[in-house]
Amino acid sequence: MMAGAGDEPFFEGTEKLLEVWFSSTIGDDSLDLRDIDRGHWETLLRLVKCTIISMSRNESMDAYVLSESSMFVTKDRFILKTCGKTTLLLAIKPLLEIVQKYCGFDDVKDVFYSRKKFMKPDQQDRIHRNFEDEVLHLEEMFETGSAYSLGRINRDCWYLYTLDGEGVTKPDQTIELLMWDLCRKKMEIFTTDVSKDGRDATKKSGICNIIPGVQIDDYLFEPCGYSMNGLLPEGKYITIHITPEPGYSYVSFESNVPQESYNELINRVLDTFRPGKFLLTIFANKASIARESHKGIEDKRTINNYNRQDHQTCVFKEYHLTYSYFTRPVI
């Protein structure tokens, strides 16, 4: 599992992230993605080449820790985040079929497919090796989407595909911090040499203090690696995935908690993991209390001891998107 295609051990922590919002053209409010049997999700995940390790739920969401990252199912929103050599895009067609057949939603309100540039794209399955091919695949399924690249295409950059229509109008926001070149000492916590299980690693690392009060489902891989889902009321979540191996260490933090400013949360995440580099994205739509949060980032040439290398903003119909890339000076 941990070996790459060559002799060098390698694991691609960088995730592919898919978020799909469903709706009913006849306005049927009784429909709920959580009514779909687990067996159908398992069939879908087999195509993606990952499996369910653990499941947790609250009144508004079912959350799954996967062998390669996470899946979240709420009433009308489906999120699948997978790393390694998984083939996430192969899930989209069956997802649309399963949802229509076993749940009844007959329309897709919005789609977000995003990922950072892979560390080793050549080790990916053919359909994921480059973004242009991923977009061709998405265009086979959706009639009106647009694809974007933010950041430096000759260095680290981030790709997004989203639909052109009106999209989600109820409050919605997502913050992601994608971090690499992480502090070795911190990363040792996410090995079975140092921590006895997921819970122990969550406590030792301070992950439990990033957003207090979350219902945590955590998992420590053998001999190393860590994944957690944290649930909050009203469909809010956090999810953290860690590849601690030196040489290709990678951590992702994602959450949809609404905040007017994300500055404190960003500082807490950076303190917890101490990356050498990180990429920040914040989506917030017009109805979200986070809609002005980009202003708190815009003026920041530095965060903690990190220097900003790139900053871009995009204004879509409903959403405002901030992209920022920071590095720590090498001492």
Ligand X SMILES: C[S@+](CC[C@H](N)C(=O)[O-])C[C@H]1O[C@@H](n2cnc3c(N)ncnc32)[C@H](O)[C@@H]1O
Instruction: Give, rounded to a whole angstrom, the gap between the first and last alpha carbons of the chain.
Output: 34
User: Judged by CB under 6 A, does residue 68 bind ligand X?
Assistant: yes
- The interface region with ligand X, picked from 33-41, 152-160, 222-230, 311-319 by CB under 6 A, is 222-230
Give least dist CB 76 to ligand X, A.
Answer: 25
User: Judged by CB under 6 A, does residue 13 bind ligand X?
Assistant: yes
User: Judged by CB under 6 A, does residue 242 bind ligand X?
Assistant: yes
245 labeled binding residue: yes
User: Judged by CB under 6 A, does residue 72 bind ligand X?
Assistant: no
Do the Cβ atoms of 134 and 127 come closer than 8 Å?
A: yes
Residue closest to ligand X (Cβ): 225
Judged by beta carbon, residue 90 or residue 103, the one nearer ligand X is 90
283 labeled binding residue: no
Give least dist CB 88 to ligand X, A.
Answer: 12
User: Judged by CB under 6 A, does residue 1 bind ligand X?
Assistant: yes
Do the Cβ atoms of 72 and 62 come closer than 8 Å?
A: yes
User: Judged by CB under 6 A, does residue 218 bind ligand X?
Assistant: no
Map tokens 């295409």 to a residue.
153
User: Judged by CB under 6 A, does residue 272 bind ligand X?
Assistant: no
188 labeled binding residue: no
Give least dist CB 149 to ligand X, A.
Answer: 21
Judged by beta carbon, residue 1 or residue 330, the one nearer ligand X is 1
Residue 208 annotated as catalytic: no
Q: Which amino acid is at 15?
A: E
Catalytic residue among 241, 294, 311, 320: 241
Do the Cβ atoms of 201 and 217 come closer than 8 Å?
A: no
Compute how many residues bind ligand X; rule: CB under 6 A: 22
Catalytic residue among 70, 195, 227, 249: 227
Q: How far apart are CA 273 and CA 270, in angstroms?
A: 5
Cα 178 from chain centroid? Answer: 9
Do the Cβ atoms of 87 and 47 come closer than 8 Å?
A: yes
**Tokens standing for residue 269:** 């995440």
Q: Phi and psi dihedrals of 307, rounded to 5?
A: -105, 135
Do the Cβ atoms of 240 and 226 come closer than 8 Å?
A: yes
Catalytic residue among 50, 67, 83, 195: 83
User: Judged by CB under 6 A, does residue 118 bind ligand X?
Assistant: no
User: Judged by CB under 6 A, does residue 173 bind ligand X?
Assistant: no
**Tokens standing for residue 42:** 């398992």
- The interface region with ligand X, picked from 95-103, 164-172, 238-246, 264-272 by CB under 6 A, is 238-246
Return the SS3 of 246.
Answer: coil
Q: Which amino acid is at 153?
A: I
What strands, in cross-sheet order, belong to the sheet with 173-182? Answer: 215-220, 226-232, 236-243, 250-255, 173-182, 275-285, 319-327, 306-315, 302-303
With CB under 6 A as the contact rule, the residue among 16, 19, 41, 67 that binds ligand X is 67
Helix axes 131-141, 92-102, angle to 10 degrees: 30
Residue ranges at the known binding site for substrate: 11, 68, 221, 245
Residues with catalytic function: 69, 83, 227, 241
Site of interaction with ligand X (CB under 6 A)? 1-2, 11, 13, 15, 67-69, 83-84, 221, 224-225, 227, 241-245, 250-252
